[in-house]
Amino acid sequence: MIGLFLNTAFNYFQAFIFKDIDILDEVFVEVNHEMSSSCLKIISDMLSRCNLTILDVDKIYCVRGPGSFTGLRIGATIAKVCSWGLEKELYSLSSLQCMACSDVATNYVIPIVNARRGYVFAGIYDSNRNVYMTDRYMELQELKDIVSKLNGSYSYVSLDEFDFEVMKFVPNNKNILRYCSFRKESPYDFVPDYLKEEYVGNNG
Amino acid sequence: MKKDVYILGIESSCDETSCSIVRNGTDDISTVILSQIDIHTLYGGVVPEIASRNHIKDITVVIEQCLKKANINMDMIDAVSVTYGPGLIGSLLVGLEACKSMAFIFNKPLIAVHHIAGHIYANQIGNKMQFPLMCLVVSGGHTDLVYMKDHGSYEVVGSTLDDAVGECYDKVARVMGIGYPGGPIVDKLAKEGALTYELPIPKNDDSLDFSFSGLKSAVINLVHNEKQRAHEIRREDLCASFQNVVVYSLASKTIKAMEKYNVKNLILAGGVAANSGLREKLTDLCKQHGFNFSYPDIKYCTDNATMIAACAYQLFLKKQFSSLTLEAVSSEKLK
């Protein structure tokens, strides 16, 4: 079984191709505002390096969020259309659980994304990356209060900077395959999980 | 015998998710449009984030429905095309990524279409444009006079210096409290009204440029002043007076451009091309001046993918294809 994994939730593009439990090729590159122009070219190059074509891919895995709304839509659109067009199964997973799969040896892992104005997207996972606190959009202070009551060691993981110690997210794709729970999606209905309502400002 | 060319088009630049299959640049084989207008009406205008979220929800359904309606599969499609801009960036990106993904998985040439070029090519659907021509592009985001010597050649010879005409219609409708989108409502009420309100003719000069912000402000001030005096506004009359000035401005500059560039063919494009007052005025003036005048079917005036695929046909003939690194742009002049 050949799988293609995509994560466009942050300002880095994370992708890997795997066969069963073996990683065949992987990338983690900073793309910032060039997510749209980068993704498909990178996927195409990765497949070429593996002597594969997109037609060889059996299952598509895509991060559903939370994260950059625009980034999530780019990845989700690619995943939906590839799944629909190739008639291959589509699976999603949480971007925070993906982040929690970093090499961390503490009792708890806390993936965290700066959502601005004192808010964050965060979840709390145990050492086996099982959900301890479900992913949510919350005040940073509220998260700190919950974390302060944890019974055991913990590490924050993020690509953002905070005024407390945070481990930089470095993907461990084998851990993702080992620990993550993937949700089956329909190529017709799949949408990102924004975890936050759309902002409707003054449209005048 | 020449082989037929089938092009699939995708349009998602604002609040319509659309897919279409067009044969040889003129025949609409199948078009599906999913409009979000009911959602955005609640807010009195398009909310970009809501538009983007709805595009991604609907995109594969719209593409599949279009193919099913045409009763053809992707093997028969010669190229895929998409609006790359201008438009709302979040909305554009969904259509763009979908189209690029289709080009990638089905190994089809990818064609990038400028949204306004697409609107112009709505005139090619079921018809053939005669060159040289002048096109009056009137929509919520654009008010341009475009001179075309031939297919794919665009020279913008006049443009709005501030608000687009469609935007002006929306703002005027909002201040009068008559709903959204403003164009069709004002057009309808204008037919029942009389020219009783005096409004300034915008940019009444020899240039080919337009201006609508002053007119918009004049209507807003008029409504507020009348409210302060506890006078009731007769909406039909204000709509008629407003539309009369808008149509005069658009039509007089258009005829001026036709004469200056010595062209005999006039076409209309964009959402405001559906405006009956504008169509009637230009029909009369073109008759008087001996010009040929045509405009798209009303269903091709608002955003749709048929016009994108029709325009893409000309680029297909020239083999002007794009790569998978194609980016969306929120604003880009037609060139």
Confirm or reject contact between A76 and chain B (CB < 8 A).
Answer: yes
- Report yes or no on B327 lying in a domain: no
Tally C-beta pairs within 8 A across A and B.
Answer: 102
Model pLDDT for residues A15-49, shown as the tens digit of each residue: 999 999 999 999 999 998 999 999 999 999 999 99
In a domain, B235, yes or no: yes
Beta bridge partners of A57: none
- In a domain, residue B332? The reply is no
Domain co-membership, B185 together with B69: no
Cβ atoms of B54 and B17 within 8 Å: the answer is: yes
- C-alpha distance from residue B78 to each of B5, B95, B317 (Å): 6, 18, 11
Check whether A203 has a pLDDT greater than 50.
no
Distance of residue B94 Cα from the nearest chain A Cα, in angstroms: 6
**What is the CATH number for A142?**
3.30.420.200
Q: Each residue of B136-167: pLDDT tens digit?
A: 999 999 999 999 999 999 999 999 999 999 99
B-chain residues near A86 (CB < 8 A) = 105
| Chain A, window 16-45: residues with a beta carbon less than 8 angstroms from a chain B beta carbon | 34, 36-41, 43-44
Query: Mind listing the pLDDT tens digit for each residue in B168-187?
Result: 999 999 999 999 889 999 99
pLDDT at B42: 83
Chain B nearest-CA distance from A51, in A, is 16
Q: Report which of B269, B315, B312 is spatially closest to residue B294, judged by C-alpha positions.
A: B269
**For an interface test with B, which of A13, A41, A43, A77 has the most B Cβ atoms less than 10 Å from its Cβ?**
A77
Closest chain B C-alpha to A126 CA, distance in angstroms:
32
Interface mutation vs chain A, best among B66, B324, B329, most A CBs within 10 Å: B324
Put simply, whether A88 touches B (Cβ < 8 Å) is no
Which of B43, B60, B77, B91 best tests the A interface by mutation, with the highest count of A CBs <10 A?
Answer: B60
Q: Which residues of A touch B74 (CB under 8 A)?
A: 85
A163 and A148 together in one domain: yes
High-pLDDT (> 70) share of chain B, %: 100
Residues on chain A touching B93 (C-beta within 8 angstroms): 36, 70, 73-74, 77
Residue B304 domain boundaries: 6-122+300-317
Residue B304 reports pLDDT greater than 70: yes
Backbone torsions φ then ψ of A3, nearest 5 degrees: -120, 150
Residues 6+ apart with CB under 8 A from A171: A7, A14, A26, A28, A98, A101, A102
Cβ(A160)–Cβ(A68) under 8 Å?
no
Q: Are strands A119-126 and B27-35 parallel, antiparallel or unpaired?
A: unpaired
Q: Is the Cβ–Cβ distance between B235 and B176 less than 8 Å?
A: yes
pLDDT attached to residue B39? 87
Q: Which of A8, A13, A40 to mutate to test the interface with B (most CBs of B within 10 A)?
A: A40
pLDDT of residue B45: 83
Please tell me whether residues A12 and A90 are part of one structural domain.
Answer: yes
* A18 and A74 inside one domain: yes
Q: What is the pTM of this model?
A: 0.94
Check A188 against B61: CB less than 8 A apart: yes
Q: Specify the CATH number for the domain of residue B172.
A: 3.30.420.40
pLDDT digits (tens, 9 = 90+) for A140-195: 999 999 999 999 999 999 999 999 999 999 999 999 999 998 999 999 999 999 99
User: Per CB distance under 8 Å, which residues of B are interface residues toward A?
Assistant: 43-47, 49-50, 52-53, 56-57, 59-61, 63-64, 74, 89-90, 93-94, 96-98, 100-102, 104-106, 174, 323-328
Which amino acid is it at A153? Answer: S
A200, pLDDT greater than 60: no
Asked if B89 and A70 come within 8 Å (Cβ–Cβ), the reply is: yes
Per-residue confidence (pLDDT) for residue B61, from 0 to 100: 98
A175 part of a folded domain: no
Q: Are residues B174 and B269 in the same domain?
A: yes
Which structural domain range is residue A74 located in? 2-94+181-185
Instruction: State how far the Cα of B189 lies from the Cα of B185, in Å rounded to an integer.
Output: 6
d(CA B35, CA B17): 6
Number of domains in chain B: 2
When CB atoms are compared, the residue of B97, B106, B326 closest to A74 is: B97
Shared domain for A28 and A90, answered yes or no, is yes
Query: For A191, what's the count of Cα atoms within 13 Å in the CB-facing half-sphere?
Result: 14
- How many Cβ atoms sit within 10 Å of the Cβ of residue B220? 15
Q: Is B287 found in the same domain as B143? A: yes
pLDDT digits (tens, 9 = 90+) for B23-74: 999 999 999 999 998 888 888 888 999 999 999 999 999 999 999 999 999 9
Note whether A69 and A153 are same-domain residues. Answer: no
Q: Residues B207, B98: one domain?
A: no
Instruction: Confirm whether B108 is domain-assigned.
Output: yes
A90 and A6 share one domain: yes
pLDDT at A204 over 50: no
Same domain, A56 and A87: yes
Q: How far is CA B228 from CA B17, B225, B236, in A?
A: 43, 5, 20
N-terminal to C-terminal alpha carbon distance within chain A: 52
Burial class (CB in 10 A: 0-12, 13-18, 19+), B144: buried
Q: Are B307 and B277 part of one and the same domain?
A: no
Same domain, B94 and B137: no
| Residue A70 is assigned to a structural domain of this protein | yes
Map residue B113 onto helix, strand or coil.
strand
Instruction: Say if the Cβ atoms of B59 and A77 lie within 8 Å.
Output: yes
Residue of B nearest to A38 (CA): B325
- Regarding whether A70 and A23 lie in a shared domain, the answer is yes
Same domain, A101 and A131: yes
Q: Is A55 on the interface with B (CB under 8 A)?
A: yes
Is residue A61 assigned to a domain?
A: yes
Closest partner residue to B49 among A84, A86, A198, by Cβ?
A: A198
The confidence score (pLDDT) of residue A181 equals 86
Residue with tokens 């560039």: B261
Q: Is residue B67 a part of any domain in this protein?
A: yes
Same domain, B35 and B88: yes
CB B84, CB B327: distance < 8 Å: yes
Of A81, A86, A192, the CB nearest to B60: A81
- Does the pLDDT value for residue B76 go beyond 70? yes
B44 domain residue, yes or no: yes
At A87-112, the pLDDT tens digits run 999 999 999 999 999 999 999 999 99
Residues B118 and B161 in one domain: no
- Whether residues B139 and B237 fall in one domain: yes
Question: Quick one: B206 and B80 in the same domain?
Answer: no
Q: Tell me whether residue B1 is in a domain.
A: no
Question: Does residue A174 belong to any structural domain of this protein?
Answer: no
Is A199 among the domain residues? Answer: no
Mutate to test the interface with B, among A6, A64, A73, A74 (most CBs of B within 10 A): A73
Q: What token pair was written down for B42? A: 């609640």
State residue A202's pLDDT score: 43
Residue A29 and residue A76 in one domain: yes
**Structure confidence at residue B40 (pLDDT):** 86
Q: Does A84 touch chain B (CB under 8 A)?
A: yes
What are the angstrom distances between the C-alpha of A178 and each of A79, B11, B330?
21, 40, 41
Across chain A, mean pLDDT equals: 95
Which residues in chain A are closer than 8 Å to B323, comparing Cβ atoms?
41
Judged against a pLDDT cut of 80, whether residue B228 lies above it is answered with yes
B261/B196 same-domain check: yes
For residue A199, the chain B residues in CB contact (below 8 A) are 49
Average pLDDT, chain B: 96
Average pLDDT estimate for B112-131: 96
Long-range contacts at A165-170 (CB < 8 A, ≥ 24 apart): A166/A112, A167/A102, A167/A104, A169/A10, A169/A99, A169/A102, A169/A111, A170/A28, A170/A102, A170/A103
Residue B329 lies in a domain: no
Q: How far apart are CA B127 and CA B109, in angstroms?
A: 25
Is the preceding omega at residue A192 within 30 degrees of 0, hence cis?
no
Structure-block tokens of residue B198: 């005096």
The answer to whether the CB atoms of B97 and A36 lie below 8 A apart is yes
- The number of domains in chain A is 2
